[in-house]
C-alpha cells in the first residue's frame, strides 16, 4: 500500500465545442510512442469523456489509417469505475436484471413481515407489493449516486441497504449502488489501482454541472494517486454554463503553469466559428420533416458529411424517427426490448395470467387466447371417441353468447361457471357440436395450465365430470405437468420455431431469441434463489407472480448495429462532447425538453433542500450547458424552433438564446413545399397543400379517387341542409321531393294529424311525406308515411357517387333475408352493407351489469316456457288445440282455472332453470332477483330448494297478471320458425299495382326468422267459433275488399319486446310504423297457413309492467267487449290505404299497412341487390350505429 498524497487537481477554461486539437495531436503521438515520461517518452495520458458517444467518436477518428489504440486510456467515469473494480478485485458487479429484482422483492417481503419498514408497511400482515420494492430501489439508486445513502434517515433506506448487503453476501457479488463507495474507500485507504501505474496523468474533459457527487468524489480520490487536469467550459457557475470543477481552484492562465505532464499548448479562448441558423416551425411536429430535409440536403452534398440530430424527447419519439431514417436509408434504431413486447412473450404472459387476477377466466381473456395463433395452448389430443366433427377448437362467438346469457364475468369462481354452462345440454341443435368442442378446448387449456392455477380452480377442474354436453362421452385429455417450470419448458418446446422464423421481419427479435432469453432468465433466477436460500415456488399464484415479473422485465438484447457515424440521433446527455459538420437541434419545445425536477418516492421538498438534492434550477442549468456546447460543436448548427405555435413555446434555454440573438424573430421559416424531402409522407403533405391551393401536385396521386374523401362530410352536410321541408297546399311535401331526401323525423311517423290537415288515408294523394306548414309563428309538422328506402340522386362527381352507392361493385346477393338484416339496411344502407355485408362492425364488450339482450331473452324464455308448460305444447311448431269440453288441456292461461300462486310457482321454476346465475350473491343477481320475483336474495335462495306456490310479485308476477287478462286469445304458436314451412325461407311478394311509392314491380324476397307469439281469435261474441270450415283454403289476398275470400281462422301476431325506458305506446307505434318485422311475419304466417287471416298485430312490452298492445283490423270487430285481446290501438286507421285507391278508401287500413310495409322491405332488398349502399345519416340512425366510427359522414353527437 502506497502513501496517500494530497489531491492533484488542476483546471483550465476552454471554449465550448469541439475536441481540443492539441490533445488530439498528443493522442496520435501517444499511439506511436506509448512510453510514459519516466521511460523517456511523451506523457502517457488517460482521457475521461463526458459521454460514451463522445468516447466512441474520438476512438473512431483516432482509428483512421489503421492505428491500433489502447482503449483503456479512453474512459468515461462509469467505465473507469468498472476498470477499477477489476483492479481492486472486488466481487463481480451484480446484474440488476429481472431475476435479481425478484430476489430483492422477496427479501423485502420477508423484512416487511418482520416490521423492517415500519413507516412504509406498519403491519406484518400488510401486503408488500412490487411497487414498494421498485420505489425503494429508485430512491436508493439516486441517493447512492449522490453519496447520501448512508446518512439518509428517511423511510426504509437503512433496512434496504442491509438487505442489499445480505444479497451481496449470498450471491458473492457487489451491488451497483455500492460500487463507487467501495472504490472511494479503497482509494482513500491508499490502494493504488493497477491500471493507473503507468499513467502520467488524466485529462478530464468538460463535464456538465449536474455530475453526480459519487463521480466527483471518485475522481477526487483518484487524483490522490494520479494527477488530474480538467478542461472546463468558461461561463457562469450560477447559470450552469461553466463546466463542473472537482475542486474550487483558480484555472491555469499561462502555459508555464501547466502540470509537467500536460502537453504544452496556448491557453486562449477561441471565438465560435459555427454558423447558427434558427428556423421557425408552424408546429413542433414539423421537426421530423425539417430535420430529415436538412440532413438529406447535406448528405447529398458530401459523402463525408457527419450529422448529429439531437432530440431532447428521443425516448418517446423513436418510432417517428425510425420511419424518417428509414426513408433516408439509414439503419433503424433498435433498442433493447422486453420479452413481453414480443408476440411470443405477450401470449405466454397472457396464458399464465388467464386464471389469475380480478378478471380470471373472463370472456376477454379466453376469446383472446382462442383467436391467437402464436402459441399452442396444449399438446395434440386424440380424436373424439364418437364424433370426429367434435374437436378441441373453440367457437368465439358462442363463448360471447354464453357469457352474455349466463352472465359469466371474470374473477373467482368464473372457471366453475364456464364449465357448468358449457356442460349443460345445448338448447339449440345447431350449437351442439360447437358447444362440446368449446367445452373440450376449455378443459384442455385448464388441464395444461393445472400447475399454474389457483388451488380453488385446481379443485374445480379435478372434481368436474369432463363429459361432453352433446355426445355424453368422456372427453380425452393429455397428461398435465407437475410443476410450473416443467409446464413452461413444455409450452416453449411446443412452439413452432421454424415457421415463425420464416415470418420474421429481420429487424425485431426472433422467437428463438425470446425462448433463449426466457430459459436463461429462469435458470439465472433459480440459481440465485438456490445460492441465497430463497424459496422456489413450484406452482400456483406465487409461481405466476414470479414468472410474470420475469417476462415483463427480461430484456431482449438487440443484435442490430448502431446508426452510421455519418448520421447520429442522440439526446442531449449523449451528445455532450460530440462534434459534427452539421448539428440539428429538434423538438425544442418546453413540452419535449422537460426541465422539471424529477419526482422520487419518499423524497419530499424538505429533505431535498436539507441535503441539497435535486435543486429546482438543476435541469435548466444542465440544459444551458448542453445548449452552449451544441452551438459551438459543429460547422453549422440548425435550431428548429416551434415558437410560431403558441401551444408549444420553445424551452427556456432556446428562448434565452433567441431573445439575445434574434429578438425580432427575423429568421427563416420552414415551408414544406420549398424543400425537397425524401419522406413519402412529407411529399403527400406537400401535394395535399398544393391541391388545396388549386396547384397541380408534384407527384400524381396513387389513388386519385381518394382525394375527395375528406370532402364527403362537408358535401353530405350541404345536401342535408338543402333537403326540401316546405309543404304544398295539402300540408305534405311534393312527390318530387322524394329523391332529395336522406332522413326524416321518426316522431312524424306516429304523431297525430294536425287539426287543419287532412289525414293521409283520405288525402287527395297518397303516400305522403311530412313537411313544415303554417305561419312562422305557429309552424306545425304533418304526419308521414315511411318514405324509405331513400334513393338520393347522384351529384355527378364520379368518384363521390361511386362511394355513395351509384356505381357497380357493391351489389349484394342475399338469398334469404332476416327481419333484423332488413332493419339495418332500411335505417342506413351503408350501415347494412358494412355491418351485414362486410362484417366490419365493432365487437361487443362485456359489462359488469346484465346485458339488455340477456334480460330480454330471459324474460322471453320465461314467458314462453310458462305457456308451454301450462298449455302442454312445444315451441317452434303449430299447436294442436283440442276444443272439446272434456279436454284436460286449457285453451289459455286465462281459461286454465289455475290460481295465481300456482302459476307463479311454475314461472319461478322456469326462471331458476333458465338463469342459475341468479343464485350468486353479487349485486347484479341481487338486483335482478328482486326486480323479477319481488324477493330478496335470501328469500330466493330459500325458495329454490323447495319450490312452493307463492304470491305473484315482481315483473314476472305482473306478466302473469297481464296474461290472465287475455281472455279473448288462445296461444297458437311460440317462436314459430319460418323455415319450418320452407327451408329456403318464405317468399314475400307484392303486386305492382299496390306497391308504393310508384307502383313499380319489385323482386320478391325470401324471409327467415321466428315469430315470438301467434294467437287465435274467435269469430263470435260467445267465443264458441274458432274455426270457419267454410272459409277459403287459399292464401289470403292483401286486398280483400271486392273479393269473395273468407278466412278459416283469425290470427293475431305479437312481437315481444323488453323495454326499460320507452313508453309502451311509443314502442308499439315504432314496431308498427318504423320497423318491418311485424308486417313481414304477419304476411309470412298467412302464406304458410292458407286460410288464415291476420286481423291483429302488435307489440307486447315486457317491462316494469307487461302490456299487450294490439292494432285491430276492420275485419275483426269483436262484439264481446268483456273479452280482452290487449290494449287496442288505431295507428293505421287514418294513415294507410292502398296505392290504387282514391281519397274515399273502402279497404281495411291494417291490410293497407301490411302492403305498405312489405313495399318498404322489397324496396330495401332490391336496393341492396342493386348495390345502393349510400349513407342516410341521422341522429336516430347514427346514435347506436355499430359502424359509425368508420363512416366519415356520421352524425353521432360526440363527433
Whole-angstrom distance, CA of residue 780 vs CA of residue 772: 6
Three-state secondary-structure class, residue 7: coil
pLDDT at 387 over 60: yes
Its sign, for the CA torsion 291, 292, 294, 295, is: positive
Q: Could you tell me if 501 and 515 are in contact, meaning their C-beta atoms sit under 8 angstroms apart?
A: no
Report the DSSP beta bridge partners of residue 201: 45
Report CA-CA distances (Å) from 1081 to 437, 450, 1031. 35, 51, 22
Question: Considering the chain, what percentage of its residues have pLDDT values greater than 90?
Answer: 41
> Where among 224, 257, 290 does a domain terminate?
257
* Residues 945 and 1062 placed together within one structural domain of the fold: no
**885 vs 939, residue with greater confidence:** 939
Which H or E run contains 954? helix 954-964
413-to-397, 402, 448, 921, 922 alpha-carbon distances in Å:
22, 16, 19, 12, 12
For residue 770, give the DSSP letter.
Answer: B
Of 257, 290, 314, the position where a domain reaches its end is 257
The number of distinct structural domains making up the chain is 6
DSSP string, 1181-1195: HHHT-TTGGG-TT--
Give tens-digit pLDDT for 332-357.
Answer: 565 667 888 888 889 999 999 999 98
Q: Could you tell me which of 723, 739, 720, 724 has the C-alpha nearest to residue 787?
A: 739
* 649/810 Cα distance (integer angstroms): 50
* pLDDT average, residue stretch 635-663: 91
pLDDT at 1120: 44
* Same domain assignment for residues 492 and 582: no
Q: pLDDT per residue over 551-574, tens digit each?
A: 888 888 765 545 456 889 999 999
Whether 330 and 344 map to the same domain: the answer is no
Residues 103 and 155 in one domain: yes
Instruction: Confirm if 1063 and 1057 have CB atoms less than 8 A apart.
Output: no
Confidence (pLDDT) at 142: 93
Residue 1121 clears pLDDT 60, i.e. is over it? no
406 in the same domain as 295: no
Cis (ω within 30 of 0) for the bond into 789? yes
Can you give the CATH number for the domain in which 325 is found? 3.40.50.300
**CB neighbour class for 525 (10 Å; exposed up to 12, middle 13-18, buried from 19):** buried
For residue 466, is it within any domain?
A: yes
Q: What are phi and psi of 463, to 5 degrees?
A: -90, -10
Residue of 1112, 1113, 1110 whose CA lies nearest to 1054? 1110
Which residue has better confidence, 1199 or 947? 947
Among the listed residues 561, 577, 572, the one whose alpha carbon sits nearest the alpha carbon of residue 55:
577
Q: Is residue 367 domain-resident? A: yes
Comparison of pLDDT for 252 and 508, the residue scoring more: 252
Residue 824 belongs to a domain: no
Nearest Cα residue to 567 out of 294, 335, 277, 205: 294
What domain range is 951 assigned to? 852-869+883-955
13-22, 66-75, 86-95, 383-392: range with lowest mean pLDDT: 383-392
**509, 428: one domain:** yes
Picking from 223, 219, 241, 224, the residue whose alpha carbon sits closest to that of residue 232 is 241
Please state, in angstroms and rounded to a whole number, the distance separating the CA atoms of residues 78 and 215: 8
Q: Write out the three cell numbers for 463.
A: 372434481
**pLDDT confidence tier of residue 153, bands split at 50, 70 and 90:** confident
Query: CA-CA distance, 1094 to 400, in Å (whole number)?
Result: 37
d(CA 422, CA 434): 10
* pLDDT in the model for residue 851: 67
What region does 16 belong to: left with phi over 0, alpha with psi -120 to 50, or beta?
beta
Taking the alpha carbons of 136, 141, 146, 148 in that order, is the dihedral positive or negative? positive
Is the distance from CB of 217 to CB of 9 less than 8 angstroms?
no
Same-domain pairing of 1117 and 1017: yes
Q: What share of the chain is helix, strand, coil (3-state, %, to 5)?
A: 40, 10, 45
In a domain, 795, yes or no: no
Same domain for 1085 and 1015: yes
Is 836 a member of any domain? no
Decide if pLDDT at 3 tops 60.
no
d(CA 590, CA 398): 52
Closest CA to 31 of 57, 79, 66: 66
User: What whole-number distance in Å separates Cα of residue 956 and Cα of residue 1074?
Assistant: 29
- Domain at 220, CATH number: 3.40.50
Pairing of strands 228-233, 969-977: unpaired
The C-alpha torsion from 432 through 433 and 434 to 438, rounded to 10°, is: 100
Is residue 362 located within the same domain as residue 324? no
1045 and 935, same domain (yes or no): no
Residues in the chain: 1199
Rounded to 5 degrees, φ, ψ at 818 are -115, 160
* Three-class SS state of 1107: strand
pLDDT at 4 over 60: no
> Could you report the per-residue pLDDT of 101-111, keeping only the tens digit for each?
889 998 999 99
Do 949 and 1005 lie in one domain? The reply is no
Helices (H), 845-922: 852-871, 900-914
The pLDDT of 824-846, averaged and rounded, is 83
305 lies in some domain = yes
Q: Is the dihedral of CA 1121, 1124, 1129, 1134 positive or negative?
A: negative
**Range of weakest confidence among 731-745, 776-790, 980-994:** 776-790
Assess whether 367 and 510 both reside in one domain. Answer: yes
Q: For residue 548, which of 500, 488, 460 has the smallest C-alpha distance?
A: 488
Provide the pLDDT for residue 1119: 46
Residue 682 lies inside a defined structural domain of this protein? no
For 685, 707, 1190, the CA distances from 702, given in Å and listed in that order, are 13, 10, 22
> Residue 850: what pLDDT?
67
Distance between CA atoms of residues 100 and 220, nearest Å: 32
In the three-class reduction of DSSP (H, G, I as helix; E, B as strand; rest coil), residue 76 is classed as: strand
Kindly tell me if the per-residue pLDDT of 778 is higher than 80.
no
Q: What value does the mean pLDDT of the chain take?
A: 87
Question: Using CA atoms, how far apart are residues 1113 and 1151, in angstroms rounded to an integer?
Answer: 8
Helix or strand run (H / E) with residue 518: helix 511-532
What average pLDDT does range 576-599 have in this prediction? 93
Edge-to-edge strands, sheet with 668-669 = 567-570, 307-310, 580-585, 634-641, 275-280, 668-669
Flag whether pLDDT at 140 surpasses 90.
yes
**Distance from C-alpha of 172 to C-alpha of 92, rounded to nearest angstrom:** 8
Instruction: Please give the pLDDT value at position 348.
Output: 92
Q: What is the 3-state secondary structure (H, E, C) of 80-111?
A: HHHHHHHHCCCCCECCCCHHHHHHHHHHHHHH
**Do the Cβ atoms of 415 and 355 come closer than 8 Å?**
yes
Give the model's pLDDT for residue 442: 93
502 against 209, higher pLDDT: 209
- pLDDT tens, 264-321? 998 888 877 789 999 999 889 889 989 988 998 898 888 889 999 999 999 889 888 8
Which of 788, 781, 747, 783 has its CA nearest to residue 768?
783
Q: What is the pLDDT of residue 1199?
A: 42
CA gap 861, 1013 in Å, rounded: 12
In terms of average pLDDT, the best of 339-348, 771-780, 917-926 is 339-348
Locate 1180 and state its grid cell. 336516430
Q: What is the CA radius of gyration of the chain?
A: 41
Helix (H, G, I), strand (E, B) or coil at 474: strand
Distance CA 633, CA 630 (A): 5
Query: Is residue 892 included in any domain, yes or no?
Result: yes
Grid coordinates 462532447 are at which residue? Answer: 577
Is the distance from CB of 571 to CB of 310 less than 8 angstroms?
A: yes
C-alpha to C-alpha distance for 964 and 139, rounded to whole angstroms: 74
Q: Nearest 5°: CA angle at 804, between 802 and 807?
A: 35
Phi, psi of 10 (to 5 degrees): -135, 165
* Cα end-to-end distance, the chain, whole Å: 77
Indicate the range of 530-539, 719-728, 732-741 predicted with least confidence. 530-539
Of the chain, the percentage scoring pLDDT greater than 70 comes to: 95
Residues 636-643, mean pLDDT to the nearest whole number: 94
Q: If you average pLDDT over each of 5-19, 655-669, 1078-1092, which comes out highest?
A: 1078-1092
How confident is the model at residue 1122, as a pLDDT? Answer: 44
Q: Which of 70-79, 927-936, 1150-1159 has the lowest mean pLDDT?
A: 927-936
Last residue of a domain, one of 904, 924, 955: 955
Q: Which single residue is written with the C-alpha cell 328482486?
A: 930
Q: Do residues 1101 and 1107 make contact, with C-beta atoms less than 8 angstroms apart? A: yes
Segment 380-391 shows an average pLDDT of 83
pLDDT the model gives residue 1? 46
CA angle 1101, 1102, 1108 (to 5 degrees): 45
Distance between CA atoms of 437 and 421, rounded to whole angstroms? 13
Amino acid at each position: 500500500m502506497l502513501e496517500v498524497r494530497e489531491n492533484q487537481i488542476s483546471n483550465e477554461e476552454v471554449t465550448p465545442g469541439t475536441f481540443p486539437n492539441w490533445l488530439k495531436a498528443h493522442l496520435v503521438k501517444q499511439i506511436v510512442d506509448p512510453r510514459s515520461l519516466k521511460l523517456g517518452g511523451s506523457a502517457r495520458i488517460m482521457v475521461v469523456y463526458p459521454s460514451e458517444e463522445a468516447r466512441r467518436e474520438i476512438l473512431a477518428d483516432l482509428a483512421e489509417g489503421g492505428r491500433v489504440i489502447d482503449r483503456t486510456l479512453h474512459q468515461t467515469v462509469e467505465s473507469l469505475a468498472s476498470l477499477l473494480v477489476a483492479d481492486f478485485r472486488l466481487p463481480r458487479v451484480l446484474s440488476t436484471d429481472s431475476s435479481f429484482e425478484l430476489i430483492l422483492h422477496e427479501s423485502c417481503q420477508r423484512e416487511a413481515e418482520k416490521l423492517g419498514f415500519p413507516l412504509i408497511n406498519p403491519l406484518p400482515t400488510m401486503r408488500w407489493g412490487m411497487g414498494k420494492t421498485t420505489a425503494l430501489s429508485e430512491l436508493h439508486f439516486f441517493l447512492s449516486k449522490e453519496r447520501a445513502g448512508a446518512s439518509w434517515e428517511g423511510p426504509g433506506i437503512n433496512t434496504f441497504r442491509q438487505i442489499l448487503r445480505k444479497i451481496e453476501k449470498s450471491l458473492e457479488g457487489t451491488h451497483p449502488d455500492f460500487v463507487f463507495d467501495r472504490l472511494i474507500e479503497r482509494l482513500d485507504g491508499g490502494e493504488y489501482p493497477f491500471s493507473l501505474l503507468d499513467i502520467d496523468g488524466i485529462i478530464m474533459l468538460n463535464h456538465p454541472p449536474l455530475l453526480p457527487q459519487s463521480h466527483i468524489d471518485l475522481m477526487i480520490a483518484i487524483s490522490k494517486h494520479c494527477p488530474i487536469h480538467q478542461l472546463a467550459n468558461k461561463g457562469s457557475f450560477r447559470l450552469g454554463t461553466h463546466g463542473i470543477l472537482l475542486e474550487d481552484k483558480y484555472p491555469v492562465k499561462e502555459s508555464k503553469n501547466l502540470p509537467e505532464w500536460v502537453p504544452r499548448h496556448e491557453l486562449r479562448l477561441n471565438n465560435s466559428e459555427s454558423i447558427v441558423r434558427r428556423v421557425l416551425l408552424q408546429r413542433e411536429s414539423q421537426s421530423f420533416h425539417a430535420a430529415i430535409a436538412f440532413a438529406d440536403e447535406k448528405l447529398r452534398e458530401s459523402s463525408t458529411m457527419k450529422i448529429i440530430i439531437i432530440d431532447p424527447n428521443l425516448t418517446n419519439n423513436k418510432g417517428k424517427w425510425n420511419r424518417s431514417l428509414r426513408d433516408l436509408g439509414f439503419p433503424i434504431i433498435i433498442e433493447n426490448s422486453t420479452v413481453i413486447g414480443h408476440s411470443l412473450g405477450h401470449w405466454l404472459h397472457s396464458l399464465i395470467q388467464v386464471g389469475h387476477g380480478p378478471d380470471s377466466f373472463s370472456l376477454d381473456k379466453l376469446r383472446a387466447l382462442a383467436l391467437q395463433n402464436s402459441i399452442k395452448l396444449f399438446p395434440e389430443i386424440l380424436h373424439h371417441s364418437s364424433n370426429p366433427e367434435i374437436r378441441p377448437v373453440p367457437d368465439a362467438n358462442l363463448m360471447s353468447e354464453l357469457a352474455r346469457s349466463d352472465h359469466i364475468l371474470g374473477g373467482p369462481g368464473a372457471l366453475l361457471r364456464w364449465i357448468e354452462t358449457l356442460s349443460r345440454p345445448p338448447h339449440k341443435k345447431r350449437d351442439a357440436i360447437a358447444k362440446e368442442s368449446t367445452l373440450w378446448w376449455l378443459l384442455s387449456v385448464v388441464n395444461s395450465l393445472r400447475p399454474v392455477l389457483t388451488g380453488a380452480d385446481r379443485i374445480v377442474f379435478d372434481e368436474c365430470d369432463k363429459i361432453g354436453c352433446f355426445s355424453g362421452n368422456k372427453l380425452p385429455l393429455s397428461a398435465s405437468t407437475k410443476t410450473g417450470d416443467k409446464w413452461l419448458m413444455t409450452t416453449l418446446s411446443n412452439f413452432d420455431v421454424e415457421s415463425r422464423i420464416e415470418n420474421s421481419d429481420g429487424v425485431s427479435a426472433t422467437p428463438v431469441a425470446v425462448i433463449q432469453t426466457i430459459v436463461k432468465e429462469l435458470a439465472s433466477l433459480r440459481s440465485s434463489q438456490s445460492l441465497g436460500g430463497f424459496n422456489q415456488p413450484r406452482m400456483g399464484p406465487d409461481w405466476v407472480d414470479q414468472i410474470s415479473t420475469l417476462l415483463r422485465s427480461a430484456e431482449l438484447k438487440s443484435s442490430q448495429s448502431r446508426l452510421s457515424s455519418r448520421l447520429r440521433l442522440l439526446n442531449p446527455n449523449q451528445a455532450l462532447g460530440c462534434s459534427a459538420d452539421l448539428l440539428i437541434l429538434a423538438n425544442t419545445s418546453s413540452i419535449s425538453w422537460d426541465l422539471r425536477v424529477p419526482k422520487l418516492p419518499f423524497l419530499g421538498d424538505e429533505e431535498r433542500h436539507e441535503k441539497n438534492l435535486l435543486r429546482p434550477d438543476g435541469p435548466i442549468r444542465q440544459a444551458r450547458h448542453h445548449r452552449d456546447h451544441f452551438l459551438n460543436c459543429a460547422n453549422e448548427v440548425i435550431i428548429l424552433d416551434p415558437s410560431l405555435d403558441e401551444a408549444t413555446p420553445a424551452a427556456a434555454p432556446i428562448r434565452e438564446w433567441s431573445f439575445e440573438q434574434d429578438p425580432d424573430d427575423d429568421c427563416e421559416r420552414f415551408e414544406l413545399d420549398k424543400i425537397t424531402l425524401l419522406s413519402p409522407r412529407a411529399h403527400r403533405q406537400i401535394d395535399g397543400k398544393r391541391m388545396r391551393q388549386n396547384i397541380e401536385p408534384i407527384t400524381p396521386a396513387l389513388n386519385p379517387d381518394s382525394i375527395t374523401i375528406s370532402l364527403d362530410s362537408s358535401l353530405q352536410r350541404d345536401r342535408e341542409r338543402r333537403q326540401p321541408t316546405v309543404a304544398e297546399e295539402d300540408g305534405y311535401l311534393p312527390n318530387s321531393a322524394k329523391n332529395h331526401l336522406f332522413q326524416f323525423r321518426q316522431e312524424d311517423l306516429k304523431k297525430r294529424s294536425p287539426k287543419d290537415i287532412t289525414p293521409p288515408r283520405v288525402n287527395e294523394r297518397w303516400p305522403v311525406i311530412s313537411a313544415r306548414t303554417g305561419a312562422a309563428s305557429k309552424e306545425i309538422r304533418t304526419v308521414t308515411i315511411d318514405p324509405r328506402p331513400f334513393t338520393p340522386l347522384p351529384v355527378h362527381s364520379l368518384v363521390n357517387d361511386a362511394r355513395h352507392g351509384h356505381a357497380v361493385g357493391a351489389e349484394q346477393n342475399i338469398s334469404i333475408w332476416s327481419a333484423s338484416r332488413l332493419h339495418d339496411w332500411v335505417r342506413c344502407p351503408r350501415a347494412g352493407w358494412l355491418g351485414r355485408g362486410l362484417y366490419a362492425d365493432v365487437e361487443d364488450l362485456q359489462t359488469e351489469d346484465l346485458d339488455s339482450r340477456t334480460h330480454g331473452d330471459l324474460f322471453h324464455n320465461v314467458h314462453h316456457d310458462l305457456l308451454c308448460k301450462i298449455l302442454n305444447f312445444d315451441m317452434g311448431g303449430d299447436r294442436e288445440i283440442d276444443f272439446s269440453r272434456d279436454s284436460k288441456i286449457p285453451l289459455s292461461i286465462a281459461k286454465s282455472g289455475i290460481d295465481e300462486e300456482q302459476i307463479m310457482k311454475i314461472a319461478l321454476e322456469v326462471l331458476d332453470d333458465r338463469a342459475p346465475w341468479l343464485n350468486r350473491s353479487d349485486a347484479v343477481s341481487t338486483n335482478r332477483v328482486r326486480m323479477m320475483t319481488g324477493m330478496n336474495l335470501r328469500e330466493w335462495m330459500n325458495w329454490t330448494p323447495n319450490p312452493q306456490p307463492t304470491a305473484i310479485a315482481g315483473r314476472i308476477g305482473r306478466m302473469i297478471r297481464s296474461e290472465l287478462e287475455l281472455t279473448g286469445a288462445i296461444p297458437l304458436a311460440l317462436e314459430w320458425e319460418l323455415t319450418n314451412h320452407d327451408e329456403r325461407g318464405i317468399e314475400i311478394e307484392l303486386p305492382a299495382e299496390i306497391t308504393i311509392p310508384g307502383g313499380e314491380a319489385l323482386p320478391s324476397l325470401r324471409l327467415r326468422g321466428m315469430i315470438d307469439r301467434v294467437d287465435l281469435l274467435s269469430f263470435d261474441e260467445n267465443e264458441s267459433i274458432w274455426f270457419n270450415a267454410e272459409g277459403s283454403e287459399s292464401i289470403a289476398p292483401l286486398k280483400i275488399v271486392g273479393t269473395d275470400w273468407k278466412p278459416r281462422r283469425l290470427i293475431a301476431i305479437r312481437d315481444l319486446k323488453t323495454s326499460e325506458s320507452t313508453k309502451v305506446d311509443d314502442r308499439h307505434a315504432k314496431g308498427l310504423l318504423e320497423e318491418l318485422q311485424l308486417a313481414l311475419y304477419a304476411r309470412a304466417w298467412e302464406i304458410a297457413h292458407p286460410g288464415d287471416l291476420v286481423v291483429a298485430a302488435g307489440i307486447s312490452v315486457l317491462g316494469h309492467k307487461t302490456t299487450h298492445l294490439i292494432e285491430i283490423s276492420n275485419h275483426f270487430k269483436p262484439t264481446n267487449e268483456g273479452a280482452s285481446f290487449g290494449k287496442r290501438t288505431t295507428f293505421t286507421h287514418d294513415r294507410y290505404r292502398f296505392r290504387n285507391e282514391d281519397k274515399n278508401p273502402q279497404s281495411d287500413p291494417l291490410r293497407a299497412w301490411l302492403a305498405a310495409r312489405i313495399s318498404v322491405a322489397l324496396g330495401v332488398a332490391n336496393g341492396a341487390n342493386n348495390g345502393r349502399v349510400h349513407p342516410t345519416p341521422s341522429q336516430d340512425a347514427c346514435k347506436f350505429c355499430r359502424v359509425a366510427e368508420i363512416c366519415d359522414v356520421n352524425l353521432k353527437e360526440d363527433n
